[in-house]
Amino acid sequence: MNNKPIVELKNLSKNIKGKKIIHDLNLALYPGQITGFLGPNGAGKTTTIRMMVGLMKPTSGDILIDGQSIQSHFEEAISKVGVIVENPEMYKYLTGYKNLEHFARMNKNVSKARIDEVIRQVGLEKRIHEKVSTYSLGMRQRLGLAQALLNKPKFLILDEPTNGLDPAGIREFRNYLRKIAEEDGVAVFVSSHLLSEIELMCDRIAVIQNGKLIDMREMNTNEQPHYYIEVESNANITTIFADAGIVYEQHEKGWLVQAEKKQIPAIVQSLVARDINIYAVNPYHKTLEDQFLEMTGGGQIAETSSK
């Protein structure tokens, strides 16, 4: 990973009607990396995104995009940004290509060759000259992605990009996004309430609660190994785990133990020696939903549009 961030939020704060909504937010986003942005209802996600795209001015602090301040050098900074919101607006009576031509005129130096390039990137070559009214939702999302890529952004913001898509459309969109991040070195920032999708799509997550960044973690790298062991009901089971120095907790019909793979045979042998029937031993991975609920204390995920 490139060590120089494309985007830096520096002590970013926002007051609305005398109330502090965002508290000294610090965050760095890097080229080629997809970062998920999560938070309970009313946490400040939308307010943060509005400031990042220049729709709302920070009360204090700053946002740097490719080294340019969004406050003092707005045009230079925002020219490096591409944005996709839920269900992007298109001219449905025009073809996909005509839509892209229209948006290209709003940007400087977007050539026909660039339009053709983004069409290939998002896989719309076969349908690009058909009217948008004939497109599926997934195709409209891909056209929105093509539009956002026209100006070769270094930073791409996506707000609920897969809402309404079927599983095949979600996977397809995710694959295009990964390809763009890796091949073009774009820093991607995804806000979504679909935790299972964030888990598959992102390299790391940033969690905001009550306007403060409460957690920043790489996906699936810091977690201690766990195994799920399902056995017959037995009062001695906790004694066996305790004697082996194993951290454990009761989980559904079995036990969740924190242990390395090499420790599992000895645990199994101890259970067998006590005549305890074993029904299952499986690696256990905490889902992003589990981790999110632990971080936020069970706060809801979706954010209202008024925040």
Task: Give domain status of residue 132, yes or no.
Answer: no
- 211 and 231 inside one domain: no
- 255 and 168 inside one domain: no
Domain CATH for 248: 3.30.70.100
Which three-class secondary structure state does DSSP give residue 3? coil
The per-residue pLDDT for 3 is 77
- 190 and 209 inside one domain: yes
CB-based contacts of 104: which residues, under 8 Å, 6+ apart? 110, 114, 115, 150
Q: What is the pLDDT of residues 188-230, one digit of tens each?
A: 999 887 787 788 888 898 988 889 988 787 766 555 677 888 8
Q: What is the pLDDT of residues 105-121, one digit of tens each?
A: 887 788 999 999 999 98
- 55 and 171 inside one domain: yes
The per-residue pLDDT for 291 is 67
The per-residue pLDDT for 270 is 84
- 163 and 57 inside one domain: yes
Task: Give domain status of residue 122, yes or no.
Answer: no
Task: Give domain status of residue 189, yes or no.
Answer: yes
Task: Give domain status of residue 45, yes or no.
Answer: yes
Q: Which structural domain range is residue 263 located in?
A: 226-284
- 75 and 12 inside one domain: yes
Question: Would the CA dihedral through 164, 170, 174, 176 be positive or negative?
Answer: negative
Is residue 102 a contact partner of residue 94, using CB atoms and an 8 Å limit? yes
Tokens encoding 96: 């996909």
The per-residue pLDDT for 220 is 60
Task: Give domain status of residue 186, yes or no.
Answer: yes
Report the candidate in 19, 98, 105, 11 with the shortest Cα–Cα distance to residue 60: 11
> pTM (2 decimals)?
0.75
Range name among 150-154, 169-173, 236-240 with the lowest pLDDT average:
236-240
Q: How many structural domains are present in the chain?
A: 2
- 166 and 278 inside one domain: no
Please report how many Cα atoms fall inside a 13 Å half-sphere around the Cα of residue 218, on the Cβ side. Answer: 7
- 274 and 209 inside one domain: no
Domain CATH for 61: 3.40.50.300
Model confidence at 161, in pLDDT bands (50, 70, 90)?
Answer: confident
- 76 and 162 inside one domain: yes
pLDDT at 154 over 90: yes
Q: What is the pLDDT of residues 24-55, one digit of tens each?
A: 999 999 999 999 998 887 888 989 999 999 88
- 163 and 249 inside one domain: no
What are φ and ψ of residue 134, in 5° steps?
Answer: -95, -5
